[in-house]
A and B are shown apart, each in its own frame.
Chain A
């Protein structure tokens, strides 16, 4: 066999020592795991192939070719104590080490990988450590898990092919340092696209499906096989969908649509159609939303938006936009139906319907807002059928009451009320029926005080309708 360079061997031994410690027993020594005292038998077995006949040929059945019966030839219980070894059982592994290539083709001696560093004795051996592999296959690597310098698939088979590994063993796989980087979740897709085979050493399709809503549309994921052990390990673990920096940028709401149209798969990993429905609940949802995946039973939920983020509102949608959205809604600018279904208007405009439009306890303190008419009350409430109904019920309005006891803050209310009424006539009508005023302001009876202001144009009104004129000026059969 070809002997390796001595300096390289020494350097390799140093690397082995360090990596053995770092890897935390990734590969254990023969003596520790197998219990076979190779050194004790050094004088008995002149060559490795005497007991490991199948190594050079890659015959895994005869990796250990000696049998229990052959051991019992010496360990017969009389001359030497018997041993309980039942024969070679190949340990479960995801290694893809081709012994024939290394031994028969490259003519590497067994001791290059298996001798203990600086061991004085022949057969002072150990299970090969990962450093020995890296010495040739990734000499620039800073460790076994330096994924920038290492191709995992060189030495490992895909996890799905390592059927003998238990879920516990898989769960104990070390986590590469780059997986801990803050931006790993944002960059791992590029790595997976070019180095998918490396990912497959530790991951199965189930690993990706924990988070990716569009797992069936991403080639690096579909290239992976499913694995029941991984499915078991990730079951019940929620996905992770960290917020990209782009989403916090100024005006993200304004530009996210264009981004989605340009590269929908960039959104589809985290967002489902249901995500968009949080805001885009309208009848004219952008078509691009239909290109997002749907959530599926048992699959990841994806990003669940809980409402518009602060500042994540369209321009002009201030926090109290609900109070003065009328003009924008009438103009449909921007297109309201992109986000709002037509029926949503009814949730508030129907009147005594949905709670939540007004702040809490609004009913006890609404008078100032009602006078100010920042939001037109009549847009949702019937003055007669809602406001007056309630005001009457709580005693604010006594039908046909005489005097002005309720307005006790203004001593000369009869003198003051004309100006108050002209300014706040809507407020008056929330308690008073027309008949309340007609007792004085009718041309037919009472004090016959004209309520018309200086700019009132009776001809204009009469040309269009004499209905209201008739109430004060004419006798109409069947009317009071």
Chain B
């Protein structure tokens, strides 16, 4: 009997085994930047001539005074050099059991003086999960991420994707949520150091994504996601998102929206249409509403933020003979009435942008020229970039770039002028890839006498090595 079972197992063994294999990528990159921040300076209020809250020093510097206390302003701080070294290990492995794979991406960050954002987050797992995938379903367990109509989230938990009803796909997921874009629990030090009212309990996330497709013409998607405190005493967020899209002969229509069930508000809604036109032209239009979403552990949502409605148009033209692509367009947005403050202050309540871009590519040579003007509530900027170089293929390229821009802030005096040049490139030798770049920027300021012009240098260097091979079929059953 044992011999029969053994023989049966031997016969069945090839059917359940798949190819083994792994791929891994190790990379180290370092960045070095010169920075010059602002420092806060002050004089006794009595030492500053004039009256009122806003006064001027002899050189024209505007200071803000508190009666009987001090007058403050923000001059340039010292020049500093800061650096960051990032180490990444990305690995996928197929143990030889059909449909089973393991994927992980670990990252270490080491920064100088804790200056660089998140450089005190020494080791993090962007994802680390085991996946079992067959034609009808896929199960994942571990740290994983999700991109859907609500954006990008990651969590520690499990997800089950059911494809048995194709073209309908149902993906249910849940687990301990992570602070968005931090790859760490909400109770971690990153949030604690950034906000006094950071959450004191982890979050539990549950959600479902449903996606349907009709032939290759139309798709629809719906997402529900709820995030509660681990002690179930309160909600962090509860949102839904949905969208439909259709495509016909290269013309496309997309409509989508996401809705905050807690505040009863649409955070983002968009309708977009794009279509090719005769003679190499293509055009598109989009209407969009945007209002920021804030999680319920913050008070920001209760401050009644208002959104804006935006209309965007663009036109592109392709001229294959010259290997040229031109694009231009613009957008205009208007904010809702804020119902706050005084009208006489006259803050901007609308904005616009215009952009143009040309890209040329031929035989590996490329050039990209762009200009963009942006004005609106909060800030304005005008500037252009030029980037040109040669792509030798197989991961080898070199490029030079130049940029110039002028920036204004609505709420802060003065303007910043930036002009710079730089080079960067990559060289691949087998599975080893080296990347590097250097740039020099001249920053000058007008309207802020005590903010000094200066020259900034930046450099980055990286090395990446790949090893291993995927098993035949690209890894895992589908």
Quick one: which of A353-409 are within 8 Å of B by CB? Answer: 353, 355, 359-361, 364-365, 367-374, 376, 378-382, 384-390, 393-396, 398, 401-409
Minimum C-beta distance from B105 to chain A (A): 7
**Once the chains are docked, how many angstroms separate the CA of A228 from the CA of B349?**
77
Q: Of the candidates A250, A283, A403, A422, which one forms a contact with B66 in the assembled complex, judged by CB atoms under 8 Å apart?
A: A403
Instruction: Report whether A423 and B349 are in contact in the complex, using a CB–CB cutoff of 8 Å.
Output: yes
The number of residues on chain A lying at the interface, defined by a beta carbon within 8 Å of a beta carbon of chain B, is 125
Which of B109, B145, B321, B411 gathers most chain A CB within 10 Å?
Answer: B411
**Once the chains are docked, how many angstroms separate the CA of A311 from the CA of B321?**
11
A80 adjacent to chain B (CB < 8 Å): no
Q: Of the candidates B86, B275, B361, B376, which one forms a contact with A306 in the assembled complex, judged by CB atoms under 8 Å apart?
A: B361
Chain A contact surface mostly? loop
Instruction: Report whether B256 and A330 are in contact in the complex, using a CB–CB cutoff of 8 Å.
Output: yes
Task: Closest B residue to A411 by CB, please name it.
Answer: B54
A259 adjacent to chain B (CB < 8 Å): no
Residues of B within 8 A of A425 (CB): 292, 294, 300, 303, 305
Instruction: Report whether A460 and B264 are in contact in the complex, using a CB–CB cutoff of 8 Å.
Output: yes
B2 adjacent to chain A (CB < 8 Å): no
Instruction: Report whether B412 and A467 are in contact in the complex, using a CB–CB cutoff of 8 Å.
Output: no
Residues of A within 8 A of B262 (CB): 460-461, 464-465
Residues of B within 8 A of A75 (CB): none
Instruction: Report whether A451 and B420 are in contact in the complex, using a CB–CB cutoff of 8 Å.
Output: no
A446 adjacent to chain B (CB < 8 Å): no
Instruction: Report whether B66 and A402 are in contact in the complex, using a CB–CB cutoff of 8 Å.
Output: yes
Instruction: Report whether A306 and B221 are in contact in the complex, using a CB–CB cutoff of 8 Å.
Output: no
Quick one: which of A309-327 are within 8 Å of B by CB? Answer: 309-311, 315-316, 318-320, 324, 326-327
Instruction: Report whether A408 and B196 are in contact in the complex, using a CB–CB cutoff of 8 Å.
Output: no
B13 adjacent to chain A (CB < 8 Å): no
Interface stretch of the complex, out of A12-20, A64-72, A103-111, A341-349: A341-349
Per-residue contact bits, chain A 114-136, to B (CB 8 Å; 1 contact, 0 not) = 00000000000000000000000
B6 adjacent to chain A (CB < 8 Å): no
Residues of B within 8 A of A352 (CB): 109, 116-118
Task: Closest A residue to B382 by CB, please name it.
Answer: A368
**Once the chains are docked, how many angstroms separate the CA of A254 from the CA of B86?**
39
Q: Of the candidates A386, A413, A422, which one forms a contact with B304 in the assembled complex, judged by CB atoms under 8 Å apart?
A: A422
Instruction: Report whether A346 and B105 are in contact in the complex, using a CB–CB cutoff of 8 Å.
Output: yes
A332 adjacent to chain B (CB < 8 Å): yes
Q: Of the candidates B250, B292, B353, which one forms a contact with A372 in the assembled complex, judged by CB atoms under 8 Å apart?
A: B353
A173 adjacent to chain B (CB < 8 Å): no
B224 adjacent to chain A (CB < 8 Å): no
**Once the chains are docked, how many angstroms separate the CA of A371 from the CA of B374?**
10
Minimum C-beta distance from A275 to chain B (A): 10
Which of B65, B127, B320 gathers most chain A CB within 10 Å?
Answer: B320
Quick one: which of B283-299 are within 8 Å of A by CB? Answer: 284, 286, 290, 292-294, 296-299
B73 adjacent to chain A (CB < 8 Å): yes
Minimum C-beta distance from B54 to chain A (A): 5
Residues of B within 8 A of A305 (CB): 393
Residues of B within 8 A of A327 (CB): 149, 243, 245, 254, 256, 270, 272
**Once the chains are docked, how many angstroms separate the CA of A215 from the CA of B324?**
34
Instruction: Report whether B194 and A409 are in contact in the complex, using a CB–CB cutoff of 8 Å.
Output: no
Instruction: Report whether A468 and B298 are in contact in the complex, using a CB–CB cutoff of 8 Å.
Output: yes
Residues of A within 8 A of B374 (CB): 368-369, 372
**Knowing A411-B53, A422-B340 touch, does A315 contact B276 (C-beta < 8 A)?**
yes
Instruction: Report whether A316 and B378 are in contact in the complex, using a CB–CB cutoff of 8 Å.
Output: no
Which of A355, A434, A468 gathers most chain B CB within 10 Å?
Answer: A468
A101 adjacent to chain B (CB < 8 Å): no
Instruction: Report whether A479 and B197 are in contact in the complex, using a CB–CB cutoff of 8 Å.
Output: yes
Which of A345, A353, A360, A402 gathers most chain B CB within 10 Å?
Answer: A360
**Knowing A334-B247, A346-B126 touch, does A418 contact B340 (C-beta < 8 A)?**
yes
**Once the chains are docked, how many angstroms separate the CA of A421 from the CA of B196?**
20
Instruction: Report whether B407 and A365 are in contact in the complex, using a CB–CB cutoff of 8 Å.
Output: yes
B179 adjacent to chain A (CB < 8 Å): yes
Q: Of the candidates B196, B366, B403, which one forms a contact with A435 in the assembled complex, judged by CB atoms under 8 Å apart?
A: B196
Task: Closest A residue to B414 by CB, please name it.
Answer: A409
Instruction: Report whether A284 and B478 are in contact in the complex, using a CB–CB cutoff of 8 Å.
Output: yes
Instruction: Report whether A331 and B219 are in contact in the complex, using a CB–CB cutoff of 8 Å.
Output: yes
**Once the chains are docked, how many angstroms separate the CA of A334 from the CA of B303?**
39
Instruction: Report whether A315 and B282 are in contact in the complex, using a CB–CB cutoff of 8 Å.
Output: yes
**Knowing A316-B284, A326-B151 touch, does A355 contact B194 (C-beta < 8 A)?**
no
Instruction: Report whether A345 and B147 are in contact in the complex, using a CB–CB cutoff of 8 Å.
Output: yes
Per-residue contact bits, chain A 256-299, to B (CB 8 Å; 1 contact, 0 not) = 00000000000000000000000000011100000000000000
Instruction: Report whether A454 and B420 are in contact in the complex, using a CB–CB cutoff of 8 Å.
Output: no
**Knowing A330-B221, A408-B413, A418-B338 touch, does A386 contact B151 (C-beta < 8 A)?**
no
**Once the chains are docked, how many angstroms separate the CA of A424 from the CA of B307?**
9
Q: Of the candidates B40, B275, B345, which one forms a contact with A395 in the assembled complex, judged by CB atoms under 8 Å apart?
A: B40
Per-residue contact bits, chain B 399-414, to A (CB 8 Å; 1 contact, 0 not) = 0010101010111110
A307 adjacent to chain B (CB < 8 Å): yes
Residues of A within 8 A of B220 (CB): 331
A78 adjacent to chain B (CB < 8 Å): no
B355 adjacent to chain A (CB < 8 Å): yes
Q: Of the candidates B213, B379, B392, B393, which one forms a contact with A367 in the assembled complex, judged by CB atoms under 8 Å apart?
A: B379
Give 21 pairs: A residue, B residue, CB < 8 Å, sorted on A: A250-B276, A326-B151, A332-B221, A333-B218, A352-B109, A365-B416, A367-B381, A367-B409, A368-B376, A368-B381, A370-B378, A371-B378, A405-B40, A408-B413, A418-B338, A421-B340, A422-B338, A422-B340, A451-B299, A471-B299, A479-B197
Other contacts beyond A316-B284, A319-B359, A379-B151: 14, CB < 8 A: A250-B276, A304-B394, A310-B359, A311-B280, A331-B245, A332-B211, A332-B221, A360-B420, A386-B118, A406-B74, A406-B412, A461-B263, A468-B298, A471-B299
